[in-house]
A and B are shown apart, each in its own frame.
Chain A
């Protein structure tokens, strides 16, 4: 069975500092990996995805993530955090078969202080 783990409920970082939100996954085969962000009472906004190719994926709003197959990780990173980055972040995985749904991690709340 597929699963996604986000080990941290909350990450606190000062504005201007680098941030990392961790994600590890457990799937059979090679999955598609995603990061989404959710602001209060809003739907999900897509940040980035890993499909194939370069392990370092660049996405929206300056975020990037590195796919590490040996560690089965897909950590989200940003070199310099902004207060406006404060939100709930979800890592998700999907099987490469067509028609399958995304499986989400529990989410990590990012809090950026000024």
Chain B
């Protein structure tokens, strides 16, 4: 149990286009999901905290108008990279916190590799 999926796993897009990444908790409900960004050979940096039914909380330095987060249900959060540019190319990873779970454990998705040409 406690599986988190991400779709797509890999996406290549042209500069200026928008890309949507989905994060789903497959067998549990997640009131809270987190979006991380990872550059090559670097650590995961928290971008935002996504709460079901409310606005996301963004970390300092993350543009909320560029990285749109929607947490419309207890099993789905989406991250939309708007007007993507090459510097947005990165590995995006989500995690989901199981509602009511022991110690509020988080489960990670497999990541989405975004390449902006």
Q: Which residues of A contact B (CB under 8 A)?
A: 32, 36, 41-46, 49, 51, 90, 94, 98-99, 101-107, 109
Decide: B111 and A98 in contact? CB cutoff 8 A.
no
Collect the chain A residues with CB atoms within 8 Å of residue B111's CB: 41-43
Q: Which residues of B contact A (CB under 8 A)?
A: 6, 32, 34, 36, 41-46, 49, 51, 91, 93, 95, 97, 103-111, 113
Collect the chain A residues with CB atoms within 8 Å of residue B97's CB: 99
CB distance from B77 to the nearest CB of A (A): 13
Decide: B110 and A42 in contact? CB cutoff 8 A.
yes
A51 to B104, alpha carbons, bound, how many Å? 11
CB distance from A24 to the nearest CB of B (A): 15
A34 to B60, alpha carbons, bound, how many Å? 24
CB distance from B7 to the nearest CB of A (A): 13
Collect the chain A residues with CB atoms within 8 Å of residue B49's CB: 99, 101
Decide: B43 and A90 in contact? CB cutoff 8 A.
yes
Decide: B110 and A106 in contact? CB cutoff 8 A.
no
Decide: B106 and A43 in contact? CB cutoff 8 A.
no
Q: A51-B103, A99-B32, A101-B34 are in contact. Are A43 and B93 (CB under 8 A)?
A: yes
